[in-house]
Amino acid sequence: MSPVPRVLVPAAIAPTPPALGGCIHDFAGASMGTTWRVRLVAGSTLRREPVRQAIQGALDEVVAQMSTWDAASDLARYNRAPAGTRHVLPEHFDAVLACAREVAERSGGAFDPTAGALVDAWGFGPVPRRGIPAPTALAEARGRAGWRRLDIEPGGRALLQPGGLALDLSAIAKGFGVDLVARRLDALGIADHLVEVGGELRGTGVKPDGQPWWVALEQPDDDAGGRQTLLALHGLSVATSGDYRRWFEHAGTRYSHTIDPRDGLPIRHGLASVTVIHADCMRADAWSTALNVLGPDAGLALANRLGLAARLLVRAGDGLAERRSLAFDALLR
Ligand code: AMP
Ligand code: MG
């Protein structure tokens, strides 16, 4: 018999809201090197094409501004720009960088939007390479990183390129993309939707049967015996950062694509994944990465101090042990 799933429901929702009518429409596509999926409630005569265009258009805007993989993006152009130049950031880029700075500061630099050169040095950037970087290359990359080098004109949006600073917003931009798609759907008068980009999710409103959007929290492959956790995404987002998705192995060691900017090395504590539940998907995304860098002890302690709902899966022998923050436990019932 499979174990009974555990259920997380935000306290604010009624157990069974009234049925609304309408039907579920499914949309899917590709963006940011991954796939997206949207489920929404509308009448059966919904004109699908304008909705699909609104979704894809929102994600295209995020890529055009913040992709490290698209050499023509605003971010890629900033990264290549000569020292001493100032760059007026477009709206989304500016909003994401402001949030990234806040998370960098509050996480003591565990999250760092300026880790681009380090990400590249370890081969997780747009230029593929495998193996350990040479000490000189690593030292050079470390010298270029540092969120305190971010210098935005007071009251403006013009960001200074101090020389060699390489932004990487991959740990937060997907979550922002989810939020932006959700806002565009709201603006189209679509009040009930579930938006997913590359595993990061946001749910708004309810399904035609009055139930919220239920999602199962992702479990890493090797947790086959683990109990599933179901989450009611009613005005909530969920994001996961984990080394079971992207890593390389060298001489028996597993190297994560998440870098600890404080020493320039891939994280190597025993965390398999960190899941954060937050109203904003952008914050859920950034904090799941930040806590992943901090590790099982410091990550959990900071989640508790900041009231973040977080679940950490820690490698323990062949299996995984779960650690939950107080705010995560408060969602359980
Ligand atoms: P995520 O899957 O959301 O945890 O994002 C991981 C991606 O964020 C990596 O592939 C890098 O591009 C970037 N990254 C790696 N380490 C950091 C860090 N310490 N702070 C911010 N971004 C990072
Ligand atoms: Mg993230």
Instruction: Show the CA angle centred on residue 3, arms to residues 226 and 5, nearest 5°.
Output: 85
Instruction: Show the CA angle centred on residue 170, arms to residues 284 and 66, nearest 5°.
Output: 115
**Residue of 259, 289, 291 best suited for mutating to test ligand 1, as the one with most atoms within 8 Å of CB:** 289
Q: Which ligand is nearest to the CA of 116?
A: 1
Report CA(294)–ligand 1 centroid distance (Å). 13
pLDDT at 189 over 90: yes
Spatial contact of 195 and 181, defined as CB atoms under 8 Å apart: yes
The atom number, within ligand 1, closest to the CA of 172 reads 3
Quote the pTM value. 0.93
The atom number, within ligand 1, closest to the CA of 116 reads 12
Confidence of residue 102 (pLDDT cuts 50, 70, 90): very high
- The pLDDT score that the predictor gives to residue 270 is 82
Over residues 262-287, the mean pLDDT reads 94
Over residues 230-258, the mean pLDDT reads 80
Q: How many CA atoms lie within 13 A of 104 on its CB side?
A: 23
pLDDT at 225 over 70: no
Backbone φ and ψ for 73, nearest 5 degrees, come out as -70, 160
Q: Whose CA is nearest to atom 7 of ligand 1?
A: 171
Q: Whose CA is nearest to atom 19 of ligand 1?
A: 111
Over residues 241-254, the mean pLDDT reads 67
pLDDT tens column, 45-93: 999 999 999 999 999 999 999 999 999 999 999 999 999 999 999 999 9
- The pLDDT score that the predictor gives to residue 88 is 96
Over residues 101-125, the mean pLDDT reads 96
Confidence of residue 10 (pLDDT cuts 50, 70, 90): low
- The pLDDT score that the predictor gives to residue 319 is 82
Euclidean distance between CA atoms 259 and 87, whole angstroms: 26
- The pLDDT score that the predictor gives to residue 1 is 41
Residues with CB under 6 A from ligand 1: 111-113, 115, 119, 124, 168, 170-171, 241, 257-259, 261, 285, 289, 292-293
Identify the weakest region by mean pLDDT among 20-29, 113-122, 244-253. 244-253
Q: Whose CA is nearest to atom 14 of ligand 1?
A: 258
Q: Which ligand is nearest to the CA of 97?
A: 1
The tokens for 92 are: 């989304």
Higher local confidence (pLDDT), 253 or 285: 285
